[in-house]
Amino acid sequence: MGRRKSKRKGAPRKKNIQPLPILFDCPFCNHKQSCEAKLDKVRKIGRVTCTVCQEFFQTQINFLTEAIDVFNDWIDACEEEN
């Protein structure tokens, strides 16, 4: 009798504590968690770079800007282009 190992677990619930860097899905190559967001608060520059396709986006930030905001700006910019 063959035992079938088809465990189907839902995504394990992790606590929402994310260490740096913050990762997002890439809108260009669609890789999951391949985009790294970095905020340079000194120079007021936010930058998201995809480690897979090397696509990147840079925008001005302020002291309230979070990594997700930079990423959202990137998505907006992509949509405007298309």
* Stretch binding Zn ion (CB under 5 A), from 16-24, 29-37, 38-46, 58-66: 29-37
| CA–CA gap between residue 44 and residue 66 (Å, rounded) | 11
Smallest gap from residue 51 Cβ to Zn ion (A)? 8
CA neighbor of 35 nearest in space, from 17, 18, 44, 47: 47
Both ends of the chain: CA-CA distance in Å? 55
33-72 positions binding Zn ion, by CB under 5 A: 50, 52-53
In the complex, the smallest distance separating the C-beta of residue 33 from Zn ion, rounded to whole angstroms, is: 11
- Please tell me the distance from the alpha carbon of residue 16 to that of residue 20, in angstroms, as a whole number: 12
For Zn ion, the closer CB: 29 or 68: 29
Residues near Zn ion, by CB under 5 A: 26, 28-29, 50, 52-53
